[in-house]
Structure 1
Amino acid sequence: MGCVAGVIVKQVPTKPYDGQKTGTSGLRKKTKEFMQENYLANWVQSLFTALGDEVKGQSLGLGGDGRYFGKEAAQIIIKLAAGNGFKRVIVGQNALMATPAASAMIRRRKLYGGLIMSASHNPGGPDADFGIKFNYSSGEPAPERITDKIYGETTKVAVLNMADIPDVDLSKLGSTSFGEFEVVVVDPVEDYLETLRGVFDFPLLRSFLARPDFGLVFDSMHAVTGPYAKRILVQELGAPASCVKDGEPQPDFAGGHPDPNLTYAEELVKIMWSDESPAFGAASDGDGDRNMILGRKFFMNPSDSVAIIAANAQECIPYFKSGLKGVARSMPTSGALDRVASALGLPFFETPTGWKFFGNLMDAGKCSVCGEESFGTGGDHIREKDGIFAVLAWLSILAARNREVPVGGALVGVEQVALEHWKKYGRNFFSRYDYEECSSADAGRMMDHLRGVIAAAQPGDAFGDFKLKLADDFEYTDPIDGSKASKQGLRFIFEDGSRIIFRLSGTGSSGATIRLYIEQYTADPALLTKDAQEALGPIIKVALELSKLAEFTGRTNPTVIT
């Protein structure tokens, strides 16, 4: 028993749990694992121990995507923050806060950092997934130098510094004090909204959304962006309330899978492929950092989306009116952004998967727009991928393109914007096959087989009709801090620029997710509108044959195709 800043602190004995290794997006496990005695508390205490005395007297942000166990987890975190010397916790009302909003709050309020309770696009509920991650003072996900320390502490944690204070009513806005420790419950939208006001031309967007010949639908998938869409799209920009689909956050996302893709956002896809479809459709994921953009009967591939946003940013988004500092993409993302960078003379960076790599570039003033093929797009207004930012960026492009189009005229839509872009830059046909919850051992054997193929491969070797230029396991040296990342994905790059990439995802809570990425470029105007799966058919066949994926895993079909 001790006392910190007027608060009694209990020294609660505990024992380590195996496997609390923090991945690229924090710690993700099954909800019932997190609900074990002291499981969450062990990780949070290990984080605070790893950070050391520098947390004392600091302010910490807190929020989450509203999934099952989030409210209970918030109370545990608040008590540990008080017990470890934080002066203040600023938490979203009802423990809600979208991931990009948490990054915005950390930056605007100059917080020490923040904890985000989310498993992102993974399902929620007592039998599904939970997660937690720490974002640092610039609002970016914690770097490996911190996550490695956290893991080290989880292997030996023995005592929890738990403040002896009651639970705080997180449903009411305002401040509650215990001695010198304070809990401030805030509107989870406000800081984020103020940040977005400094990025976009809200009067232009309000005028555009008021057009009677333009309609939109935003699918929140019963996740955290419901309140954000209602406040921003409806209240601020004047869109009809009916444009927000499934806008009430649910602890289990109403039994759905809050991943904005063509498979899990099936209801939105049906709306956008109907004869009565609105002009624009969008969806976001569990914690609001991912996005999917749709036009009428048209899917905007995320790799193309970030390239088109970058190509139009200076003209259409006031925040970028002085030009972009640079652009970046994750290695598996298609080369569409590379072509924009080359044409505009912009610095370009290819990074491993993980937003923290973009954060380093942004903090150094080298990157303004970035993206990942996994439906993540962002800018340097914050340090996280940002689903609503991507939606507003696309609405800004459409508003600019239609400024001179009279009501009732032929509106320029998402598909036309894409086609004009492809005519200028060419098209990188791209697809990703996800094989979810494979046996980790089987997936590992397949990857070992592929490493053997790479070791034996030589430039000029034939893989079907494709000739090899390079085969490797992607490595990255951060140009800002010199840190190195290895084994980031197995690449087969061919002489015509086509690529096949294999990765094991680190965002699931169990088993292994094999991700297969396939890409092929064309500048032939006659081929630009060809169906991507049809265009990629020959190289997909090569990928499946060289990997022996079905042989190793027994899986003949992917769970998701994007």
Structure 2
Amino acid sequence: MPPIQFGTSGWRGLIAKDFTFDRVRLAAQGIADYLKAERRKKTSPLAKRKPTIILGHDARFLGRDFSLAVAEVLEANGFTALLCDRDTPTPVISHTIRVRKALGGINMTASHNPAEWQGLKYSLHNGAPATPEATRKIEAAIAKRQAKGWCFDGSVIGTYACKEIDPLPAYFKRIRQLVDFPAIKKAKMKIAVELMYGAGRGYLDTLLEEAGVKVTRFHDFSNPLFGNQPPEPNAEGMTEAAASVAAGKAQMALGLDGDADRFGVVDKDGTWLTPNQILALTLYHLKKNRRWSGAAVRTVPTSHMIDAIAGHLGVKLHETPVGFKYIGALMESEPIIVGGEESGGLSVKGHVPEKDGILACLLMAELVAVERKPLGKILKQLEKHIGEFHTDRINIHINPAQKTAILERLAEGLDKIGSTPVQEFITTDGFKFILPHGEWVAFRASGTEPVIRCYLETKSATRMKTLQSACRKILK
């Protein structure tokens, strides 16, 4: 079997092929070995903590059973496992780690991937995604055990029992401190909520109803097949909720992915808004309307609209590599109003250093309630100050045999993208080329497919078509 490797958001694999109970137990033992080693260090933040680890899972096949298998391995190593009592959103697990002052957490989730995938995500003691340094140590511990033929004589699948907890009340308490629910209640809103058969059921919809919102729910029951489509709140995934809005049954639609760390937002006219736009609106709202102080942070391929809003409002901006673990690290080190990425995740000051789709959706409802206007209209007003931003991401399939040569060519830098001169070359994560007039393109290779992702930002739709064509030619 191939080695267990942790990517941007943990270890993922196909259920019963790569992701099996034996391999999950092996991964759990590697994490146990890592935690034991860390706790022996006197300077480690884990040294004086109780040996408690929070476990959770989303609504995927065998999520609870995989979690119980992990619990058995951890408790055999002297740790106490606390299992969330139902499928639980990733940000809720993160919050629970912090509230319980646990050593960390292990979450069975493959986020927005199709139903046949499962995943194991390890979070640190502060609720943030594991750092590259931590995952390298865990991978090494797993490889060492694997080389020695380690195995675990576990209980019959699904029969092990550990202590269970309800993380919802503590999470709701924190969200009520971060969101202006009285403003939402005063606005008497109608909102369509797309729950994607996922772990966000009973969280976003319940909080909105408690604020007096008339909620129309879509797919608000557990289905590990996710309706035969990936549980992703993109334009396609939000189609039914968007149709409800366009028909006048709701003034906006809010959606969550399978583990509720990503968000989807549809405006009053039925238009799906991009994560880039939502991140920009969140910064605008928290700085202008809530008067929060601090900086903002985005990843390399995230829209420079964030930079423009930050500049307009006098906010410092940071750029990080792709992965919320980098954003989370900054959020723990200095005051950050909002941090986010183009793939649909954000968090805010005073909250967990992890993506929270529930909070993102609630803040958009709050913004509409406070300004009494659709999000699209707010964006149009902002364009008067910052100009237009057109963004896109295209996946370009390449010949696997040519992948190395293409990446080497990109690594050397390019003088032009088509006929447009390159002004700056950035290699923080992938290859990013800054062009005149605030435009740019970036290339990042997929770690699992023969695909190179191309991110583009232009000042007009016409320029977008021109640069899309140029990027395709570069990767031929």
2:257 corresponding residue in structure 1? 285
1:100 corresponding residue in structure 2? 91
- State the Cα distance separating 1:199 from its structure 2 match: 0.4
1 CA distance for matches of 2:401 and 2:320?
23
2 CA distance for matches of 1:443 and 1:203?
55
CA pair 184-424 structure 1, distance change in 2 beyond 3 A = farther
**Match of 1:427, SS?**
coil
Letter in 2 for 1:106: I
Deviation string 1:161-207 (CA, Å, 9 cap, x unpaired) is 667799668xxxxxx8xxxxxx4322242222111011012222222
TM-score (norm 1): 0.77
Deviation string 1:423-446 (CA, Å, 9 cap, x unpaired) is 2222221111235xx57xx35724
Aligned residue-pair number: 462
2:51 corresponding residue in structure 1? 58
Q: 1:156 aligns with which of 137, 144, 148?
A: 144
2:219 corresponding residue in structure 1? 246
**Match of 2:389, SS?**
strand
TM-score (norm 2): 0.90
2:183 corresponding residue in structure 1? 204
2 CA distance for matches of 1:512 and 1:188?
40
Is residue 308 of structure 1 aligned with residue 278 of structure 2? no
Q: 1:130 aligns with which of 114, 118, 121?
A: 118
Q: Is the 8 A contact 2:50 2:102 kept in 1?
A: no
1 CA distance for matches of 2:151 and 2:36?
14
1 CA distance for matches of 2:354 and 2:255?
17
Q: Is the 8 A contact 1:116 1:132 kept in 2?
A: yes
1:499 corresponding residue in structure 2? 440
Deviation string 1:481-532 (CA, Å, 9 cap, x unpaired) is xxxxxxx2122221222111111245xxx5345321110136xxxxxxxxx5
**Match of 1:39, SS?**
helix
2 CA distance for matches of 1:504 and 1:218?
34
Q: Is the 8 A contact 2:310 2:317 kept in 1?
A: yes
Q: Percent identity?
A: 25
CA pair 217-185 structure 1, distance change in 2 beyond 3 A = same
Is residue 390 of structure 1 aligned with residue 369 of structure 2? no
Deviation string 1:197-236 (CA, Å, 9 cap, x unpaired) is 110122222222xx2xx421110111111221232122x2
2 CA distance for matches of 1:289 and 1:255?
20
CA pair 500-249 structure 1, distance change in 2 beyond 3 A = same
Give matches, 1:109-128, under 5 Å.
Answer: 109-124=100-115, 128=116
Is residue 84 of structure 1 aligned with residue 77 of structure 2? yes
**Match of 1:131, SS?**
strand
Give matches, 1:251-330, under 5 Å.
Answer: 251-272=224-245, 274-276=246-248, 278-295=250-267, 296-317=269-290, 321=291, 323-330=292-299
Q: 1:356 aligns with which of 325, 329, 349?
A: 325
Deviation string 1:134-182 (CA, Å, 9 cap, x unpaired) is 101110011111100111122221435667799668xxxxxx8xxxxxx
Q: Is the 8 A contact 2:430 2:443 kept in 1?
A: yes
Deviation string 1:296-331 (CA, Å, 9 cap, x unpaired) is 2323221121112111103444xxx4x231100000
- State the Cα distance separating 1:246 from its structure 2 match: 0.6
CA pair 447-369 structure 1, distance change in 2 beyond 3 A = farther
Q: Is the 8 A contact 1:34 1:40 kept in 2?
A: no
1:482 corresponding residue in structure 2? none
**Match of 1:383, SS?**
coil
1 CA distance for matches of 2:409 and 2:365?
47
Deviation string 1:52-97 (CA, Å, 9 cap, x unpaired) is 25279411111111100101101101111111111x3222113x11
Larger Rg: 1
1:417 corresponding residue in structure 2? 378
RMSD in angstroms over aligned alpha carbons?
A: 2.4
Give matches, 1:466-481, under 5 Å.
Answer: 466-472=420-426, 474-475=427-428
Deviation string 1:238-264 (CA, Å, 9 cap, x unpaired) is 3235x2211112222132210111133
Give matches, 1:228-243, under 5 Å.
Answer: 228-234=203-209, 236-241=210-215, 243=216
2 CA distance for matches of 1:30 and 1:164?
23
1:143 corresponding residue in structure 2? 131
- Unaligned runs of 5+ residues in structure 2 are 40-45
**Match of 1:47, SS?**
helix
Q: Is the 8 A contact 1:291 1:391 kept in 2?
A: yes
CA pair 316-92 structure 1, distance change in 2 beyond 3 A = farther
Q: Is the 8 A contact 1:282 1:293 kept in 2?
A: yes
Is residue 38 of structure 1 aligned with residue 8 of structure 2? no
2:173 corresponding residue in structure 1? 194
Deviation string 1:74-123 (CA, Å, 9 cap, x unpaired) is 1101111111111x3222113x1101111111112221111111001101
Letter in 2 for 1:223: G
- State the Cα distance separating 1:465 from its structure 2 match: 4.1
Q: Is the 8 A contact 2:243 2:270 kept in 1?
A: no
**Match of 1:218, SS?**
strand
2 CA distance for matches of 1:521 and 1:72?
50
* Structure 1, 251-260 or 449-458: larger mean CA deviation: 449-458
